[in-house]
Structure 1
Amino acid sequence: MTPDRADPLETTETLAAFPARVTQARGETLEDVAFLSGAALCRLHVVLARVETPGTLLRDRLALRAAEACVAFSGRPERAADLRDAVHLLRPGDLPGPAGETALSWRRAVERPVSAAGMQRALPSLESTRLAAWLDTGSGAPVSRAARVFEAVLTEAPRAEVAALTLADAALARALGWDRVVPLLAPGLGRADLRRRGEDLRLACHRALAESAAEAVRLAGDLGRRTAHLSAVAPKLRAKGAGEAVAMFRTRDAVAASALPLPDRAARRLCDRLVDLGAVRELTGRETFRLYGV
């Protein structure tokens, strides 16, 4: 699926301004919500194709949101800040815990092109042949295909909600011609929706995608502005390795100073400098073990 050539006068920011007929409409029938989800997915498709959209960063941040939703579905108390800590402050040999495993699973799911092998890296407890069979379950329109994959996974493995949501998003991405998973279903679905089947499930998926795809477009516009500012201030940075550090901030939801390709003190100074320049934000509010992101 190749997007139509975008209007050169349009930007990701203007594309993020959805028509009121999409954002304010409240469809009740399957036909109504299919129109709304289709409109939102079409706009997102165009935004993802634009060169100024930081797609890798967008997917990483959406992966965090999907992980947060999945953790909430399981009844655990961890939220985005806890999941960032579990992933970015993990030391070699440490175990991330159940919530951290969910966050890592979603991050791995968005890192590589959609395939059974890529999905097994994200979901290592499942066999690649089984994953491939699930991915090929769906047929028809993209959202219907995703819903069928979701239902097929939970029919065979009723407690595998993370796998079901990941593979449903993978099926959606494949149907839309996206090379990587864009996490959309988990943030838009409610816990009760996980028990729906058949047409009720398709209706829930359309509603979820109408909301989450529109939110992804808005997030893309925000991240596009922020990464453009980061690129604009990059020439002011004099530290050796600053270019590699900027590249990391442009592709990751969060970065610890210790992960930057600089000595510890220089890395902390660079992060402070970027905060002063308004190019990145400190995400934790702590004095130690800080994380930074655009």
Structure 2
Amino acid sequence: MIRLDPATASPAPPPIVPVWAFAAGGAPSDADAAFQAGAALASLDTLARAQPAWAGAWRQRLALKCAAASMRLAGRAEDEAALRDAWQLCPAGADPGPAGAIFGAWRQLALQPSPVSADRLAKVAEMLGLAWDDEALADLCTHIEDLAGSRRPAPFAAAAIAARVVAMRPDAELLAWWLADLVLARGLRWPRPLPLLMAQAFGPAFRGEAGGKRIRPGEKGFERAVCLALVKAAAEACRLAVELSRRAEKLLAVAPKLRAKGAGDVIFM
């Protein structure tokens, strides 16, 4: 019979982003956008630090969403199902292909702590299909540490690193979004990053008031767009957590009745 830790089996309900954090009555000012992002991230903060039984699945779903959005940026056609297959059906140690490698980069972001090194960035860049020289990667690491040591609010630090990457390499926008989430997590002192912003890169937050050309990292209005995107990303992440929490409750309810060898491992996968 499987025995469960009561704290794990009956976690507190996941938080949700308050309705007032969403813009109403037209486009918010820069200050309003920053305030709304702060409120949304405060709701998400509890989840980012918690370790419920479903946390791993939640993080991997967020990574999958960002990987799917990455396909559009990379000019590829794979959707979430194709990405999942490319990763899960790939034999251990084998090449998962370009799409699977990009998904792997987002999984790494979600599952590993946020400290960076030139070696780590080189591996991530390779997974994203980019080739960078050591000096440029070392410069990025220094800039990340400078941002971490500054008092710049986390959303603005995330926007700054994305802009820096695209200024260095206009073709490296995938890495820009990857690092934006990493720098955001460092600024908020989360134990591990959450893949958030890439999934919003083609959304309304980055289309401006008239819904025109997409706002890219470093362009006018990008910081404000990042704040608005984080409100939507946090709300979606919280809703996903609620969904997975409810599913987990159903599984955990039957777990004590399971006696088959390895059943507990299956429940917590």
Q: What TM-score bracket applies, with the shorter chain setting the length?
A: 0.7 to 0.9
1:133-186 CA deviation, whole Å, 9 max, x = no partner?
242353411111000000111111211122111111000000001011101111
Trace 1:184-195 onto structure 2 (pairs within 5 A). 184-190=196-202, 193=214, 195=216
- In 2: Cα distance, 1:122 partner to 1:234 partner: 38
Letter in 1 for 2:157: R
Which residue number corresponds to residue 46 of structure 2?
A: 46
- In 1: Cα distance, 2:108 partner to 2:70 partner: 15
1:84-137 CA deviation, whole Å, 9 max, x = no partner?
000000024542222111101111122111111455554455556344224235
Q: 2:157 aligns with which of 117, 135, 145?
A: 145
Structure 1 position 133 matched with structure 2 position 142: yes
Q: 1:206 aligns with which of 215, 221, 227?
A: 227
Which residue number corresponds to residue 181 of structure 1?
A: 193
- In 2: Cα distance, 1:53 partner to 1:176 partner: 23
In the TM superposition, residue 201 of structure 1 has moved relative to its aligned partner by 1.0
Which residue number corresponds to residue 246 of structure 2?
A: 225
Letter in 2 for 1:28: P
TM-score by length of 2: 0.79
Letter in 2 for 1:146: A
Letter in 1 for 2:192: R
1:116–1:85 distance in 2 versus 1, CA, 3 Å: same
Letter in 2 for 1:132: C
Which residue number corresponds to residue 257 of structure 2?
A: 236
1:92–1:44 distance in 2 versus 1, CA, 3 Å: closer
1:53–1:31 distance in 2 versus 1, CA, 3 Å: farther
The alignment yields a C-alpha RMSD, in angstroms, of: 2.4
Q: SS of 1:195's equivalent?
A: coil
- In 1: Cα distance, 2:215 partner to 2:104 partner: 21
Contact 2:113 2:193 in 1 (8 A): yes
- In 1: Cα distance, 2:59 partner to 2:252 partner: 19
Trace 1:1-294 onto structure 2 (pairs within 5 A). 11-13=12-14, 15-16=15-16, 18-23=17-22, 25=24, 27-50=27-50, 52=52, 54-92=54-92, 94-117=94-117, 119=121, 121-124=123-126, 127=134, 129-138=138-147, 139=150, 140-190=152-202, 193=214, 195-197=216-218, 199-247=220-268, 249=269
Higher normalized contact order (CA 8 Å, seq sep 6+, divided by chain length): 2
Contact 2:154 2:188 in 1 (8 A): yes
1:131–1:229 distance in 2 versus 1, CA, 3 Å: farther
Unaligned runs of 5+ in 2: 1-10, 207-212
1:133–1:42 distance in 2 versus 1, CA, 3 Å: same
- In 1: Cα distance, 2:245 partner to 2:122 partner: 31
